[in-house]
Amino acid sequence: MGRRPPGMALLGKAALTLGLVLLYYCFSIGITFYNKWLMKSFHFPLFMTLLHLLVIFLLSALTRALMHCCTKRSRVVLTWADYLRRVAPTALSTALDIGLSNWSFLYITVSLYTMTKSSAILFILLFSLIFKLEELRMALVLVVLLIAGGLFMFTYESTQFNMEGFALVLGASFLGGIRWTLTQMLMQKAELGLQNPIDTMFHLQPLMFLGLFPLFAVFEGLPLSTSEKLFRFHEAGLLLSVVGKLSLGGFLAFGLGFSEFLLVSRTSSLTLSIAGIFKEICTLLLATHLLGDHLNLLNWVGFAVCLSGISLHVTLKAFSSKGEKESKLHKGTSSSPDLELLLRRGEAEEEEEEVVTELQH
């Protein structure tokens, strides 16, 4: 098999990366605006989240079955002891993060949601320090000050500020810090075998559903049971329309997780982080033009300051990851078969073709 010219190979990789970034943007920005739009007519965000979790579980189970058929490699299934002891904390924090995020759409604009949600990196850094995944450095202190200062300027005298919605999304950001820290620890435990995100999604959804259900029962159980849009419906067409809209959100949520997985597997986590920065800018611009969100000069300055803090953190992580990779290469360490299949690139054309084939299936 002849090799392609270096210029064509680079162009092909650039086109693939751009395509995956655009796919990630479609799902990520799409689900934000879709949930906001749906919350205008359907005021049960916790029930919507529960239905999303059910759809994601079914799709991840189907994906696992397809991967098993294509690779002939059996997928990991945890014991009940490991499942309840190690997966439950991650599942509970993830469920509450998503649930509160969707709940906040009842009260706040997309722009305020986007900006406040960006503060999750503060809590990720905080819990990374607590769990000793990061070391305290002056650069991290500067990151925290920039993001916190930017968030303060963005929300200060905001014309569309809502305290209840802000508290909900800030609580979601706090739980997001716990969520991603625990997720990182969960996926790094080689003995669990959850390095593949599809396996992680499959195992998280049932406990996420059970963890969020009590909150749904308390706040939405009675109103939903008397709602004419679902349990007391008069027209089957209206019921099918509501369920269809809710299920579409579940497909978007699964697509978001899977598009992140594809982007990281074919590029790197650094690419995803950089793409995330520009995604926030796109979301904010779309919110001001499509939804009429009003932002003053101080809000924009605050957003720029916050993004500079996030960019600094991404840059620091890039240099840190580069050092870790070089260290691993010198030591000759290797990861799990799944990670090697999905994350190693450029060793030989045969390995690249195997990766593309698995991702396409």
Has residue 274 got a pLDDT over 80? no
The lowest-confidence range among 2-16, 92-106, 117-131, 143-157 is 2-16
Which pLDDT value is given to residue 48? 92
Which pLDDT value is given to residue 92? 92
Per mean pLDDT, which of 47-61, 111-125, 230-244, 306-320 is the most reliable? 47-61
Which pLDDT value is given to residue 120? 77
Reported residue count of the chain is 361
Which pLDDT value is given to residue 356? 40
This prediction has a pTM of: 0.74
Which pLDDT value is given to residue 7? 64
DSSP 86: I
- Phi and psi angles of residue 53, each rounded to the nearest 5 degrees, phi first: -60, -40
Rounded average pLDDT over 299-322:
80
Of 349, 361, 354, which Cα lies nearest the Cα of 337? 354
Percent of the chain residues past pLDDT 90, beyond the cut: 19
End-to-end CA distance of the chain: 23
**Is there a contact between 172 and 104 (Cβ–Cβ < 8 Å)?**
yes
The lowest-confidence range among 53-62, 248-257, 307-316, 337-346 is 337-346
Sole residue written with tokens 């803090």: 309
Rounded to 5, what percent of the chain is helix, strand, coil? 80, 0, 20
Rounded average pLDDT over 160-166:
84
Q: What is the mean pLDDT of the chain?
A: 78
Of 180, 162, 165, 117, which Cα lies nearest the Cα of 306? 117
